[in-house]
Structure 1
Amino acid sequence: MNLIKPIIAVCCSLTMSAYTLLGQTPLIIPKPVSMQTYEGAFQLPSKLKFQLKGISSKQDIQDIEFLLKSKLPSKVSLQRGSGKCAINLELDSSWKGAAEAYKLEVKQGVTLKAGTIEGLKNGLQTLGQLYDGKQSLAQVLIEDAPSYAYRGVMLDVSRHFFPVPVIKGLLDEMAKLKLNRFHWHLVDGGGWRLESKTYPKLTELSAYRTESNWDKWWGGRDRRFVPKGSEAAYGGYYTQEEIKDVVAYASRLGITIIPEIELPGHSNELFFSYPNLFCPGADYKQATDVCIGNEETFTFFENILDEVMALFPSRDIHIGGDEASMDLWKKCPKCAQRMQSIGTTDVHALQSYMIHRIEKYLNSKGRNLVGWDEILMGGLAPNATVMSWRGEEGGITAAKAGHRVIMTPGSHLYLDFYQGKASEEPRAIGGFTPLEKVYSYAPPAITNSKGGIIGVQANLWTEYVETPEHLSYMLFPRIVALSEVAWTPKEKRDYKDFLTRVTPYLGQLKQRGQHPYELRGLNPKAEVVMRDGKPQMNLRLEAERPDAEVRFNWIGESTEDSHNTRTLRAGQVISSDGSSRMITANTYLNGKKLHDEDLQFRLGVHKGILGKVHYNSKWNDKYKANQGATLNDGIDGGLTYLDGKWQGFTEPMDVTVELPQTQDVREVTMRFLAEREQWVYMPSDVEVLISSDGKNFTSLGLKKPLTDENNPRPSIETFTFKPNQKARYIRVKANIGRSEGHFIFCDEIVIL
């Protein structure tokens, strides 16, 4: 089954509502800056006249007519006219608003004004959301403009190739959400996807591989490519004619396509077609970086970029620049000679030399270089635009130095992460980025003469996204949230209000052939407060769906037993100042469970909360969480080590919890998280020792993990020790048992 239908079918199949109405208020996404609603609706006659004012370009006229027809029901006959018309679209030469702003009024007719074609296209997307599915439009006055000029989505088609109809389907959905930049990651170690007339071997020898399964092919270090046409070859590529078609279609929708040609790293696929571009001694399993000391490398990329620029009119050309291993450069005589000629011994400066040189070439052709934030290393090219993915720090540095910056932090905008409980989700690369996390992102406000932070982008890497159905699932509804982050002013954004609009939007996505993630999450919000000198835990369980019901039981009771089941009202808090207990909970919609298995949460306080944690070994500064207050704050970590509640260690963990006084200790538990894809594993063993004086400790023994280390999904394991004796000091030691660079993550040491 093809998940995303061909774009023409999607655009013109508008027998259903473009958006559901709640009462008389249109549920528009992204939320407009200003919207006034009127009573009643504009009834669409079977024949409508429309006129275009101020538009002289033949292409612009065709684009606007195409979009207008796609926003109204197919049974309405549209005819262009003049004078008194029901629909009036005007490109206003005296417009004083922002470049993509528009003003839309619907009463007993439609008037849409903007200062640019892009503004008119944005207004038409909003017009489509005013249609109620019953031959009428909601009556409104909307004045609207985007918060950011750059509102992007990146799709990796190297790890898994997606055909043109899928790409066009994504473009169509982006346009509805006023997302205006499609970053097309066309080449990487998983395959070359762009036809080259100059270098035909790229698609003959580097576009098809031996295996579709990424774990087997990449993780198993197969990493071989086979000639086009080979039996069982997996992959594909876009012809230049297909590229032109997609670029033209995107332009019609108001979307600019930014191509990415990855260099100098992530270039494994090139070894099979042009091995001369690599350092001596490279083989296909380690040939990740091209040779910068080889002049042929520059000739190759300049010729490729010439072809790319002939196909893509975008002023911005992305050249990657991330995650180069740099290993072979240190041993390569040509790279050594290049470094000597530029007066450096630093391989980072060698990469910077290549980025600077490629930028100069692009600038000479009137184009701008865009790269991932690693291009900051060794010195940033003078006119480069930075995409900041390793957090915000690189982007902030570049913006303050006068560069354009696009924020795309992995913490909030990486869509290859899970969006629900991993055991119930299709395979992802790890992490946990639910809808609320995406919606909560707010880029720092930094401007400069070139624009500063000009926008945001969500990225979908596709190592484990093999089908169009899975692609859709990972994108939606998270890019719906992205659209509001990028468009709507921060002060007008409200997540609960967004949920009332995105929930019916899911139904519209499904009608258009998409397979979105169904909102079923159950999010715990816990806090520990002091009441009369004693700690108390307050726990709220919030359903992702605003129309879902939350039911819970104390551990040992069944949610199927209605006698024991408690139903939570919206915003209701469960409180406990007693010892820790576990509860089970689930979300229900129309009486049906949304989670296959009940979820478990800890409620209550423990003795360690009033204690002090002494660190005999140091946490990793990148994952310090709440530093010294992390392991006894009463709050459990969530489904990802990135939530700021798990504390990471790259050396053996050794901590001691000092209680206020010697007391009975019945049980000590602590949780560890494993996420193999991110080099996060269970400890090799855990030991708990207890003492009354802090000097003489008695071991309660070693415990080894039960978690299968080959499980690719994130998993959590609880280690339990039962001293049943008096103690004041509880020491927890956890060994990593792996090579440098591996992590262990711990959250709460619970002492009962």
Structure 2
Amino acid sequence: MVRTVLTLFILLSNVAFSQNKQNLIPYPHNIQINEGKFTIPEVLKLNKDLPKNETEYFKKRVSPMVKFQDSGKSEAQLVYVKLSKAPVGKEEFYSLDISPNQIQIQSYTQQGYFLALQTLIQLFEKHKADRKIPVLKIEDQPKFAWRGMHLDVCRHFFTVEEVKQYIDYLAMYKLNTFHWHLTDDQGWRIEIKKYPKLTQIGSKRKESMIGAYADNTFDGKPYGPYFYTQDQIKDVVKYAQDRHITIVPEIEMPGHALAALSAYPELACTKGPFEVATKWGVFDDVFCPKDETFTFLENVLSEVIQLFPSQYIHIGGDECPKTRWKECAHCQELIKKNNLKDEHGLQSYFIQRIEKYVNSKGRKIIGWDEILEGGLAPNAAVMSWTGVNGGIEAAKSNHFAVMTPGAYCYFDHYQGDPQSEPNAFGGFTPLDKVYSYNPIPSELTPEQAKYIMGVQANLWTEYIDNFKQVQYMIFPRLMALSEVGWGTSDPKNYKDFENRVISQFKVLDKMGVNYAKSIYNISGKVVPGNKGITYELSTSQNSDGIRYTIDGTDPSINSTTYQGAISIPKSMTVKSAYFENGQLKSSISSQQFTISKTTGKKITLENQPSENYSFGGAATLVDGIIGNSRQLGKTWLGFNGKDVVATIDFGQKTTFSQVYFNTLENKGSWIHLAKSAKIFISDDNKNFKLIKEVGKEEIQNAKGKIQLNAGQQSSRYFKIMIENAGIIPAGNPGADSKAWLFVDEIGVN
């Protein structure tokens, strides 16, 4: 009896909690729900002393739900109390106290007041149907000082009004930094009065690449001229300031410079001529570290600094090939003259010289983690994108860092099934993966962790050519980033977050935002077992609504209701979708399986894949799914500079005669075919016998799709060694860097 009563109490407590939990994103650190309601009046009385700019923003956001009237403090229904000078770290603190008769906000700064209003707006939206907000008390402030979103306007350009909308989205979810990527190989987008050719020549290109990089196809349409005038920049900066968002401009150097070199070729190591890039990727022609180049860059930065009041100026520093520097007499002399170790030391020299100039203007530089090459500039901050190691290295050497690893924070990746998503750059970064990210690397001590300023997501726009697609790629993932940056994300309670996201869709619908509905789609997971693999289906909705077929037919026509994992005993195509009341509510997901004797077997890897391309781990190579060469997301493993050494345990002695595996080539993304492959067998997992070798020429002739006759073999263990191409040779994008090796299914029959 006691146990029954206790169980009932727990159930009732959980129900009460779920009923009281507010649909707020990011969720506050401290919220107390009390008895009673505040009724949203038709006319809200405002204390006359409310900060004007922020209050006007609030009025616009909740209109026409509410009208407003100025009044004295005693009868006001919205009151603001400004606290005394903010202690360090409390600049964004706020409290929101809602009683039955009044809403009171307290903060040290107007920024804190603005953040409180964002919470209040969400409460108004949630309760607008019955106009009754629970009596509650919130005390809140973010964990991280840098909560950012990036936008690339070089590959594709977005208007001033679209950029302002982007800034509004950041403000809604309490992000406070907008990283504006203004220059690159494919376009120079900011007016520099001293150098008019930057926009006359550098802001346009003769055409643009379309489709996959490997297809090498172009639209044949001139693009541009597109750029922002300095007056437009000032307007956007003011707009962001009014929303307490700092804009950090990025001027790329020493690489990603083709747009600038097309206008001023004398700044290169070779004579040119150059043209604004029409392809995506990385190019060998970069800024030459000579005096006239530094004079040019200092003059550019001088105008940039006058336009942007941000503490940090982003100077890029990423993906700078050293090919031209190696061949340049001036560069080689500079290396000798300054006792630099090599071209990486020359990159450090370049960055440090720029940093001295920026510091002389009272500002600081931040750059992508390649600025660590050859030694970090004394006061520089690092934006860690290639993984977390850049941030770790910076923090351990007492330098500030912003964490933006591609595996979690690149919103140009797919967020749902690539077959039903718009074309994306690659990768697979669904909502739950973004939400799972912890910006503090476990390798750091508490003291070192203080150097992690925060987190940022990046939106590169090679395949995003209109603002509706920008919206699609950032929503709802921006909400997950928001809660990660605020410090209240809890992956164990992801389902609760997902429900709050779905509630926020109503707000986005009202705003006309084209958000991704991948959250509703069917997710599939391959599960190995003793009798082969099974395929588990799931959705954010009730799983009773999932229907599927196993013969490749449309589940809308004739299908089975999902009741548990689907057995995959042979090659087949599973199609699935979510239905409500007989109506299709999701896109149709399709998964083709190619079953071999390795499918579902135990597999181990000597070298682990890059975190960016590790979805599913080693089992991805034996899950029965052949990777699509256009989609690098869910079905490929990517290895940066490493070989693939995989051992498969059949579980018992198994005969086979054919072997197949796939590697990928996409040189624009630094992905190269394997150099060679070797196949071994063993009965004890210790002594392996080589049975087949494949050379570079054979792999190239097969375009990476390898099918081999291995002769009649019998063994328990099967090992394959697939050799990475190594260092990328000159004349290729990413020359002198480690090549990527992408591998998918390894099968035998």
TM range (shorter): 0.7 to 0.9
- Counterpart contact for 2:394–2:400, Cα < 8 Å: yes
Matched, 1:523 2:519: no
**Alignment of structure 1 residues 352-751 onto 2, 5 Å:** 352-444=348-440, 446=444, 448=447, 451-491=450-490, 494-519=493-518, 520-528=520-528, 540-544=536-540, 549-555=545-551, 559-560=555-556, 565-568=560-563, 574=565, 584-590=574-580, 591-593=582-584, 596-600=587-591, 646=637, 648=639, 657=648, 659=650, 661-663=652-654, 678-680=669-671, 728=716, 744-749=741-746
The one-letter code sitting in structure 2 at the alignment partner of 1:566 is T
- Counterpart contact for 2:94–2:107, Cα < 8 Å: yes
Alpha carbons of structure 1 residues 26 and 625: separation in structure 2 relative to 1, 3 Å: closer
Q: Give how far 1:191 is off.
A: 1.1
**Aligned mates of 1:183, 1:262 — CA distance in 2:** 13
Counterpart in 2 of 1:161? 157
Alpha carbons of structure 1 residues 559 and 222: separation in structure 2 relative to 1, 3 Å: closer
Alpha carbons of structure 1 residues 221 and 728: separation in structure 2 relative to 1, 3 Å: closer
Counterpart in 1 of 2:11? none
Q: Give how far 1:116 is off.
A: 1.7
- Counterpart contact for 1:420–1:432, Cα < 8 Å: yes
Alpha carbons of structure 1 residues 39 and 328: separation in structure 2 relative to 1, 3 Å: same
Question: Paired residue for 2:287, among 276, 279, 290?
Answer: 290
State the SS of the aligned residue for 1:360. Answer: helix
**Aligned mates of 1:180, 1:89 — CA distance in 2:** 22
- Counterpart contact for 1:509–1:516, Cα < 8 Å: yes
Question: Paired residue for 1:268, among 233, 258, 263?
Answer: 258
State the SS of the aligned residue for 2:502. Answer: helix
**Aligned mates of 1:667, 1:70 — CA distance in 2:** 67
Counterpart in 2 of 1:78? 68
Matched, 1:239 2:229: yes
> Which consecutive unaligned segments of at least 5 residues does structure 1 have?
1-20, 56-60, 225-230, 710-715
State the SS of the aligned residue for 1:495. Answer: helix
Counterpart in 1 of 2:310? 314
Q: Give how far 1:504 is off.
A: 2.8
Alpha carbons of structure 1 residues 329 and 677: separation in structure 2 relative to 1, 3 Å: closer
- Counterpart contact for 2:345–2:374, Cα < 8 Å: yes
State the SS of the aligned residue for 1:133. Answer: coil
Q: Give how far 1:475 is off.
A: 1.3
Q: Deviations over 1:119-138 (max 9, x none)?
A: 11100001100113347351
- Counterpart contact for 2:436–2:490, Cα < 8 Å: no
The one-letter code sitting in structure 2 at the alignment partner of 1:513 is G
- Counterpart contact for 2:265–2:271, Cα < 8 Å: no
State the SS of the aligned residue for 2:562. Answer: strand
Q: Give how far 1:500 is off.
A: 0.5
State the SS of the aligned residue for 2:438. Answer: coil
Question: Paired residue for 1:87, among 50, 74, 78?
Answer: 78
State the SS of the aligned residue for 2:198. Answer: helix
Question: Paired residue for 1:190, among 186, 191, 214?
Answer: 186
State the SS of the aligned residue for 1:319. Answer: strand
Q: Give how far 1:166 is off.
A: 0.2
Q: Percent identity?
A: 34
**Aligned mates of 1:199, 1:501 — CA distance in 2:** 49
Matched, 1:339 2:331: no
Alpha carbons of structure 1 residues 696 and 246: separation in structure 2 relative to 1, 3 Å: closer
Counterpart in 2 of 1:106? 98
- Counterpart contact for 1:387–1:395, Cα < 8 Å: yes
State the SS of the aligned residue for 1:26. Answer: coil
With 487-496 and 28-37 compared, the bigger mean Cα shift is at: 487-496
The one-letter code sitting in structure 2 at the alignment partner of 1:171 is I
Q: Give how far 1:643 is off.
A: 6.1
With 518-527 and 139-148 compared, the bigger mean Cα shift is at: 518-527
**Aligned mates of 1:369, 1:581 — CA distance in 2:** 55
The one-letter code sitting in structure 2 at the alignment partner of 1:81 is S
The one-letter code sitting in structure 2 at the alignment partner of 1:320 is G
Q: Give how far 1:246 is off.
A: 0.7
**Aligned mates of 1:642, 1:691 — CA distance in 2:** 32
- Counterpart contact for 1:662–1:726, Cα < 8 Å: yes
**Aligned mates of 1:251, 1:626 — CA distance in 2:** 39
> Which consecutive unaligned segments of at least 5 residues does structure 2 have?
1-16, 276-282, 730-737
With 204-213 and 624-633 compared, the bigger mean Cα shift is at: 624-633
Alpha carbons of structure 1 residues 305 and 444: separation in structure 2 relative to 1, 3 Å: same
- Counterpart contact for 2:385–2:403, Cα < 8 Å: yes
- Counterpart contact for 2:549–2:555, Cα < 8 Å: yes
**Aligned mates of 1:614, 1:49 — CA distance in 2:** 66
Q: TM-score, normalised by structure 2?
A: 0.81
**Aligned mates of 1:522, 1:198 — CA distance in 2:** 54
Matched, 1:120 2:113: yes
**Aligned mates of 1:133, 1:45 — CA distance in 2:** 11
**Aligned mates of 1:626, 1:236 — CA distance in 2:** 38
Matched, 1:323 2:319: yes
**Aligned mates of 2:420, 2:617 — CA distance in 1:** 34
Alpha carbons of structure 1 residues 450 and 685: separation in structure 2 relative to 1, 3 Å: closer
Q: Deviations over 1:440-470 (max 9, x none)?
A: 1111255558941010000001111111111
With 77-86 and 192-201 compared, the bigger mean Cα shift is at: 77-86
- Counterpart contact for 1:608–1:659, Cα < 8 Å: no
Q: Deviations over 1:526-576 (max 9, x none)?
A: 5546xxxx57866542224568832234457763465x60324xxxx5286
The one-letter code sitting in structure 2 at the alignment partner of 1:113 is Q
**Aligned mates of 2:334, 2:676 — CA distance in 1:** 48
State the SS of the aligned residue for 2:151. Answer: strand
**Aligned mates of 1:596, 1:722 — CA distance in 2:** 41
**Aligned mates of 1:493, 1:463 — CA distance in 2:** 34
Q: Give how far 1:210 is off.
A: 1.5
State the SS of the aligned residue for 2:113. Answer: helix
State the SS of the aligned residue for 1:297. Answer: helix
Q: Give how far 1:83 is off.
A: 2.5
**Aligned mates of 1:699, 1:219 — CA distance in 2:** 30
Q: CA-atom RMSD, angstroms?
A: 4.5
**Aligned mates of 1:192, 1:624 — CA distance in 2:** 31
State the SS of the aligned residue for 2:313. Answer: strand
Q: How many aligned positions are there?
A: 700
Q: Give how far 1:401 is off.
A: 0.7
**Aligned mates of 1:297, 1:681 — CA distance in 2:** 33
**Aligned mates of 2:573, 2:223 — CA distance in 1:** 50
**Aligned mates of 2:601, 2:153 — CA distance in 1:** 52
Alpha carbons of structure 1 residues 705 and 582: separation in structure 2 relative to 1, 3 Å: farther
- Counterpart contact for 1:552–1:583, Cα < 8 Å: no
The one-letter code sitting in structure 2 at the alignment partner of 1:523 is S
- Counterpart contact for 2:407–2:613, Cα < 8 Å: no
**Aligned mates of 1:633, 1:438 — CA distance in 2:** 26
Q: Deviations over 1:138-190 (max 9, x none)?
A: 12322221121110000011111111010000111110100100000111111
Alpha carbons of structure 1 residues 653 and 123: separation in structure 2 relative to 1, 3 Å: closer
**Aligned mates of 1:233, 1:624 — CA distance in 2:** 32
State the SS of the aligned residue for 1:494. Answer: helix
Matched, 1:304 2:300: yes
Matched, 1:201 2:191: no
